[in-house]
Amino acid sequence: MSEAPSDEKWAQMMRAAIGGDEAVYRRLLEEIGRSVRAMARGAFSRARVGDADVEDVVQETLLAIHLKRQTWDGGRSLAPWVGAIARHKIIDAMRRRGARRVEPIEDFENVLAAPAGEDPHARSDAERLMKQLAPRQRDIVRSISLDGESISATATRLSMSEGAVRVALHRALKSLAASWREAVQ
Amino acid sequence: MKTAELIEALAADPKPHGPGLRQTCLIAMALGAAASAALFLVLVGPRADFAQAVHTLRFDLKFVDALALLLPSVLLGLHILRPDARVGALALMFAAPLALLGGAVLVELSVIPSAQWGELMLGDNAMHCLRVIPLLSIPPLLALIYAMRGGAPQNPTLAGALAGAASAGIAATLYASNCPDDSPLFVASWYPLATLIVVAAGALLGRRLLRW
């Protein structure tokens, strides 16, 4: 099977990321994003609910992976864990779209081989949800995500400690995930 | 927001914050149990003949029953905080407290004349049991639910229910040293009922608070 080596690679990348390697973490999230996108498109088209929410699912999954990475058992492979999170988010999104019944979602392992790129026009709800953040938190998220500023540069600009920026970013991402969840209900 | 932009924000902070999830949950549970023990000592305290009671089998069995509930609840509760966890055969751990209780009831029925069964089952303070166990469960339940919010359970209701069962196990362990009724007929009637109240409360809390 071609999945096995790729998955072992993911587990190694995640271990490096948890150890603090930003570049590896970015690459891992990009790879995971492409696989989750393929999985979500497949699931949505089989359930005939249209794929307007695909990018939301991808982003919610990436956010959950980030916030819940301590629930991954570092001794195991990463793909089943990622697949479980993605499935959870896809089912949420389908319920949101009023799918009468949720079709079984194909195994994540099957889409690892067929990753999908981001639709350049897709915009997620995150933009709208960001408006609910406190101004300082929004500033920090924006400068890091849109302007590509590093945590240390952001810290200098706002005369904060790096630790404080890290905590503020973490809190901002947590409340982003929370308001996404509220939007689902 | 584009996905690439979100990834930038996530990648800036690769290291997880704070101690691991399991550790956080166990610390929360220990703090909740300590608060519950303090509440127990202030409100009711151990019964007057505690020192003699310890030497009787029926009294000691109440603690074994409570711990037999606590242990599987904690193990399974922590396990299912992982999104890819399967409950499967682990649920069989709950056969232990049930078999223990059922076995004790059968032995009790065989050694006690049937005329006394009703009296032993009703005991002296069933209502007290139904009030005190849920009350003592509150601190560990709230602490556990709070700590478990770091998890990603497929079934948040089940995770909350298991937090309830663990908390009831802690509360029952404490309450057993106060409760004057030691007959398995009493224990098997009222302790599970008190536990179910806490499990239901945990399930409701979990459904609302452990979604992710």
Instruction: Give the pLDDT score at B11.
Output: 94
The answer to whether B83 contacts A22, with C-beta atoms less than 8 Å apart, is no
Same domain, A13 and A100: yes
| Encoded tokens for B133 | 């166990």
How many Å apart are CA A141 and CA A17, to the nearest integer?
Answer: 20
How far off is chain B from A128, nearest CA to CA, in Å? 9
The radius of gyration of chain A's CA atoms, rounded to the nearest angstrom, is 17
| Encoded tokens for B97 | 């407290």
Same domain, A6 and A33: yes
Same domain, A107 and A93: yes
- Given A93, A119, A145, the domain boundary residue is A119
Closest CA to A39 of A99, A96, A97, A79: A79
Closest CA to A70 of B151, B135, B111: B151
CA-nearest residue of chain A to B152? A68
How many Å apart are CA A133 and CA A48, to the nearest integer?
Answer: 34
3-state secondary structure chain B: CCHHHHHHHHHCCCCCCCCCHHHHHHHHHHHHHHHHHHHHHHHCCCCCCHHHHCCCHHHHHHHHHHHHHHHHHHHHHHHCCCCCCCCHHHHHHHHHHHHHHHHHHHHHHHHCCHHHHHHHHHCCCHHHHHHHHHHHHHHHHHHHHHHHCCCCCCCHHHHHHHHHHHHHHHHHHHHCCCCCCCCHHHHHHHHHHHHHHHHHHHHHHHHHHCCC
Instruction: Give the pLDDT score at A92.
Output: 87
Same domain, A148 and A80: no
Same domain, A38 and A129: no
Domain with A136, as residue range(s), is 125-185
Instruction: Give the pLDDT score at A130.
Output: 83
How many Å apart are CA A71 and CA A67, to the nearest integer?
Answer: 9
Same domain, A100 and A130: no
Same domain, A1 and A62: yes
Q: For A59, which of B3, B151, B212 is closest by C-beta distance?
A: B3
Instruction: Give the pLDDT score at A22.
Output: 94
Q: Judging by beta carbons within 10 Å of its beta carbon (0-12, 13-18, 19+), is residue A173 exposed, middle or buried?
A: buried
Encode pLDDT of B84-114 as tens digits. Answer: 999 988 999 999 999 999 999 999 999 999 9
The answer to whether B8 contacts A151, with C-beta atoms less than 8 Å apart, is no
Same domain, A93 and A146: no
Amino acid at B152: A
Q: How far is CA B203 from CA B131, B145, B171, B198, in A?
A: 19, 10, 17, 9
Same domain, A46 and A15: yes
Same domain, A7 and A83: yes
3-class state of residue B112 by DSSP: coil
What DSSP character marks residue B153? -
Number of domains in chain A: 2
How many Å apart are CA A53 and CA A73, to the nearest integer?
Answer: 30
| ipTM tops the 0.85 cut | yes
| Encoded tokens for B85 | 């966890």
Encode pLDDT of B153-178 as tens digits. Answer: 999 999 999 999 999 999 999 999 99
CB atoms within 10 A of CB A126: 23
The answer to whether B211 contacts A181, with C-beta atoms less than 8 Å apart, is yes
CATH of the domain at A81: 1.10.1740
Instruction: Give the pLDDT score at A50.
Output: 73
CATH of the domain at A139: 1.10.10.10
- Given A102, A119, A136, the domain boundary residue is A119
- Given A88, A119, A150, the domain boundary residue is A119
| Encoded tokens for A119 | 């639709």
Same domain, A154 and A114: no
How many Å apart are CA B101 and CA B58, to the nearest integer?
Answer: 11
Same domain, A104 and A13: yes
Q: For A71, which of B6, B12, B81 is closest by C-beta distance?
A: B81
Q: Taken in order B122, B128, B131, B135, is the CA torsion positive or negative?
A: negative
Query: B212: which chain A residues are within 8 Å (Cβ-Cβ)?
Result: 64, 67-68, 88, 177, 181
The answer to whether B84 contacts A62, with C-beta atoms less than 8 Å apart, is no
B8 at A interface, C-beta within 8 A = yes
| Encoded tokens for A14 | 């995640």
Amino acid at A68: K
Encode pLDDT of B12-50 as tens digits. Answer: 999 998 889 999 999 999 999 999 999 999 999 999 999
Q: How far is CA B179 from CA B133, B137, B175, B183, in A?
A: 10, 16, 6, 11
Q: What is the DSSP string of A65-116?
A: HHHTGGGS-TTS-SHHHHHHHHHHHHHHHHHHTT-SSPPPPPPHHHHTTS--
How many Å apart are CA A154 and CA B48, to the nearest integer?
Answer: 64
**All residues at 6 or more sequence positions from B106 whose CB lies less than 8 Å from its CB, including other chains:** none
B150 at A interface, C-beta within 8 A = yes
Instruction: Give the pLDDT score at A124.
Output: 73
- pLDDT per residue, tens digit, chain A (185 aa), is 444 556 689 999 999 999 999 999 999 999 999 999 999 988 888 877 777 788 999 999 999 999 999 999 888 899 999 999 999 999 888 887 776 666 666 666 666 666 777 776 666 777 788 888 888 889 999 889 888 888 999 999 999 999 999 999 999 999 999 888 887 65
What DSSP character marks residue B48? T
Instruction: Give the pLDDT score at A120.
Output: 67
CA-nearest residue of chain B to A118? B3
Classify residue A48 as left (phi > 0), alpha (psi -120 to 50) or beta: left
How far off is chain A from B164, nearest CA to CA, in Å? 21
